[in-house]
Amino acid sequence: MQKIKVIAFDADDTLWINEPYYQDVERLFCELLKDYLPEDEVSIELLKTEKQNIEIYGYGAKGFMLSMIETALRISNNKVDANIILQTISIGKYLLNKPIELLANVEQTLIALKKDYKIILATKGDLLDQERKLKKSGLLHHFNHVEIMSNKNEEDYQKLIKRLEIQPEKFLMIGNSVKSDILPVISIGSKAIHIPFSVTWKHEILEKKHNEDFKTISNLSEIISLLKC
Amino acid sequence: MQKIKVIAFDADDTLWINEPYYQDVERLFCELLKDYLPEDEVSIELLKTEKQNIEIYGYGAKGFMLSMIETALRISNNKVDANIILQTISIGKYLLNKPIELLANVEQTLIALKKDYKIILATKGDLLDQERKLKKSGLLHHFNHVEIMSNKNEEDYQKLIKRLEIQPEKFLMIGNSVKSDILPVISIGSKAIHIPFSVTWKHEILEKKHNEDFKTISNLSEIISLLKC
C-alpha cells in the first residue's frame, strides 16, 4: 500500500446513496403495471429488458427509463394505457432530480487523504447525470480529476491509468462493486479496497465465486489506517 | 496559428454525418403522429419538449427518444396508441445503431496533422453512443485524447485546456457549430476554425448575430495550409 499515489473512488453507493432510489422507482413502476402482471414478475421482465438494452443504452437513468417504457409495452401486448407511460417518465425524472445523500465519513476521509494523494472520482453512468450528482454532492472541489466511464472493465481501467500517467501499482480503487470496482482493478496489477453497500444492483451481482484477495472495509474512514500498512 | 500545439475536432457533422439522421427520425416520428396533429406542428412541439428537457437529459439520442415519447403523450392528450410509442423506441434504436459515414477528406487530414500536432476529439452527447460512433468510424487510433463533454461552453473548454496542460493560445478547435465549437473557444483566448455543414441542428442555431472574427473553410483539408499562415 505504500506505493499508492492515486486513489480513485467509485461514486454511486460508495460516496452517496443511489441503488435504493432506483429500487424505489422500480417498485413504483411494478405497481403501475400490476393490472397486467404480478409486481414481482414485472420486476423480472424489467431486468430482462435492461439486460437486452445495456449494450445499446449503457448505464444510467435515461436507459433505465427507456427500458421501463419498453417493458410496459411488452407485458401489456402493446395495449398499455398512455397514462402509465406518462407516470413512468415522471418517476424517471424524479430519479434524475433526487438530492444527494452522502454516506458516512465521506467528506472527512477525502479531506484527510487529499493531503498525501491525488484523489480522483471514477464512475460509470450518464455523463450529465453523474456530473450533476457530483456538483450536488458538494464534493467536486476535493477531486483532482473526474473520470466518467461508459464501462469499468480491465481495458477501461488500463485507459484510465494511461491517462493518469502512472504505473498500475500506484493506483488504488475504492468501491462497493466487486465486479466493477475490485476484480478488474486487481487483474491489471493495481490495488482495490471493497466497501460493501447494503444493497447491490442486480447487474453487479457476480454469478461465479471469486478469490477473496482484496481488503474489505465497512467504513470509509478505515482507508486512512489501511494505507499506512 | 504558428503557436498551435493541440488541434481538437468536433465529431458530429464535422467528421461524420449526424444531423440528417436525426432529421430522418424526426420526420418518421411526425408522420407517426399525423392523426393527432399536422406534421410540422408535431415538429414544433418536439422542439419545445427537447428545450424543456435539455437541462435534465443533456445531449444525445436517449434524451431525444424520451422527448419524442413525451411529445407523443402530450399532443394526444395522453391517449396515444401504445404502438406509436413502440415505433418511436424502434426508430430511436435505429438511430443508435446507424453506421458511420465519414465526411470528405477526414482521414487524410488527421493523418497529415498528427505528425506535427496533438490531435484530440472534443464532442458532446451520450458517453456510450459517442464512444461507439468513434469506434465504428475507424478513426479512434488517430486521436491522442478523446474528450466527451456534457456541454461546450467557455467553462467546459477551460476545463479541457487545464486537463491538457496547455496555454489557451496553443489550442485550436475545429467544428461545424458556431455556437458550440467557435464562439466559446475564441472567447477564452484560443483559436477556432469553422467548417459549416449543410444542415444545422435547431439547438445550435444562434439567435443573435456574432462578430465574424474566425476563419471558415469548406473542406477539412484546407486546415493544413491555414496552419502554415
Q: Which residues contact B160 (CB under 8 A, 6 or more apart)?
A: B8, B122, B147, B149
Tell me which of B126, B136, B153 to substitute to probe the interface with A (most A C-beta atoms closer than 10 Å).
B126
Half-sphere exposure (CA, 13 Å, Cβ side) for B162? 10
> Do A132 and A205 sit in the same domain of this protein?
yes
Per-residue DSSP letters for A125-176? S-HHHHHHHHHHHT-GGG-SEEEEES--SHHHHHHHHHHHT--GGGEEEEES
Residue B1 lies in a domain: no
Rg of chain B (C-alpha set):
19
Residues of chain B under the 50 pLDDT cut: none
In terms of DSSP bridges, do strands A145-149 and A171-175 run parallel, antiparallel, or are they unpaired?
unpaired
Give the per-residue pLDDT at A200.
72
Query: How big is the A-B interface in CB pairs under 8 Å?
Result: 84
Choose from B128, B136, B144, B160 for mutation: most chain A CBs within 10 A: B128
Q: Quick check: A78 and B86 CB within 8 A?
A: yes
pTM of the model as a whole: 0.91
Interior angle at CA B98, CA B94 and CA B103, nearest 5: 150
DSSP string, chain B: -TT--EEEE--BTTTB--HHHHHHHHHHHHHHTTTTS-HHHHHHHHHHHHHHHHHHH-SSHHHHHHHHHHHHHHHTTT---HHHHHHHHHHHHHHHTPPP-BPTTHHHHHHHHHTTSEEEEEEES-HHHHHHHHHHHT-GGG-SEEEEES--SHHHHHHHHHHHT--GGGEEEEES-IIIIIHHHHHTT-EEEE---SS--GGG--SS-----SEE-SSTTHHHHHTT-
Could you say which of A56, A82, A163 has the minimum Cβ distance to residue B80? A82
Domain for residue B25, yes or no? yes
Residues of A in contact with B63 (CB under 8 A): 62
Residue B160 lies inside a defined structural domain of this protein:
yes
In chain A, residues with a C-beta closer than 8 Å to the C-beta of B129 are: 58
State the cell numbers at A227: 494505507
Q: Are residues B44 and B61 in the same domain?
A: yes
**pLDDT digits 0-9 by tens, A45-80:** 999 999 999 999 998 999 999 999 999 999 999 999
**Residues 6 or more apart in contact with residue B131 via CB below 8 angstroms:** A150, B146, B148
pLDDT at position B148? 93
Query: Which amino acid belongs to residue B10?
Result: D
Last residue of a domain, one of B96, B116, B133: B96
Nearest by CB: B69 against A85, A128, A163: A85
Residues of chain A with pLDDT under 50: none
Exposed, middle or buried, A224 (CB in 10 Å: 0-12/13-18/19+)?
middle
Residue with cell 476545463: B159
Is A53 within a domain? yes
**Does B110 reside within a domain?**
yes
Q: Which residues pair with A12 in a beta bridge?
A: A16
Residues A148 and A122 in one domain: yes
Q: Alpha-carbon distance A227 to B213, whole Å?
A: 54
Residues B81 and B133 in one domain: no
Assess B229–A contact: CB distance below 8 Å, yes or no. no
Same domain assignment for residues B92 and B120: no
Cα–Cα distance measured from residue B19 to residue A153, given in angstroms and rounded to the nearest whole number: 32
A83 and A30 within one domain: yes
Which among A62, A97, A163 is the nearest to B66, CB-wise? A62
* Contact yes or no for A197/A13 (Cβ under 8 A): yes
User: What pLDDT score does B187 carry?
Assistant: 95
pLDDT at A211 (0 to 100): 65
B85 with B113, same domain?
A: no
DSSP A196: -
Q: What is the pLDDT of residue B210?
A: 67
Does residue B133 sit in the same domain as residue B198? yes
Sign of the CA dihedral with B44 first, then B133, B186, and B219 last: negative
Query: Which range marks the domain in which residue A202 is found?
Result: 6-17+100-226
Give the count of alpha carbons within 13 A of A104, CB side only.
10
Number of domains in chain B: 2
The three cell numbers of residue A52 are: 437486452
Cα–Cα distance between B108 and B70 in angstroms, integer?
43
The per-residue b/e assignment along B184-199, b for 16 or more CB within 10 angstroms, e otherwise, is bbbebebbbbbbebee
B76 to chain A: which residues are within 8 Å by CB?
Answer: 82
Residue A21 forms contact with B (CB below 8 Å):
no
For A66, other C-beta atoms within 10 Å of its C-beta total 25
Do B23 and B116 fall into the same domain? no
Of A63, A78, A96, which one is at a domain's C-terminal end?
A96
Q: Kindly state whether residue A74 falls inside one of the protein's structural domains.
A: yes
Interface mutation vs chain A, best among B50, B54, B56, most A CBs within 10 Å? B56
Task: Return the pLDDT at A163.
Answer: 87
Domain boundary residue, one of A59, A80, A96: A96
- What residue ranges in chain A does DSSP mark as E strands? 6-9, 118-124, 145-149, 171-175, 191-194, 215-216
What distances in angstroms separate CA A102 from CA A11, A13, A172, B52, B188, one per listed residue? 10, 9, 21, 29, 35
Residues A153 and A170 in one domain: yes
pLDDT at B23: 95
**Residues of chain A found within 8 Å of residue B66, distances taken between Cβ atoms:** 62, 65-66, 89, 92
For A217-220, the CB contacts below 8 A with 24+ separation are A217/A193, A219/A104, A219/A105, A219/A195, A220/A14, A220/A103, A220/A104, A220/A105, A220/A106, A220/A109, A220/A174, A220/A195
CB-based burial of residue B2 (10 Å sphere; 0-12 exposed, 13-18 middle, 19+ buried)?
Answer: exposed
pLDDT at B109: 97
Q: What is the number of other CB atoms lying within 10 angstroms of the CB of residue B21?
A: 16
Q: Are residues A71 and A129 in the same domain?
A: no
- Which pLDDT does position B35 carry in this prediction? 97
| Amino acid at the residue A105 | N
Q: Which CATH number fits the domain that encloses residue B71? A: 1.10.150.240
How far apart CA B80 and CA B84 sit, in angstroms, is 7
Q: Is residue A36 assigned to a domain? A: yes
* ipTM of predicted complex: 0.91
Clarify whether residues A157 and A218 are in a common domain: yes
Could you tell me if residue A1 is inside a domain?
A: no
Q: Copy the grid coordinates of residue A105.
A: 465519513
* CB–CB contact B82 A86 (8 Å): no
CATH of the domain at B208: 3.40.50.1000
pLDDT of residue B146: 93
- Identify from A32, A57, A84, A91 which residue to disrupt to test chain B contact, counting B C-beta atoms within 10 A and taking the largest count: A57
Distance of residue B119 Cα from the nearest chain A Cα, in angstroms: 15
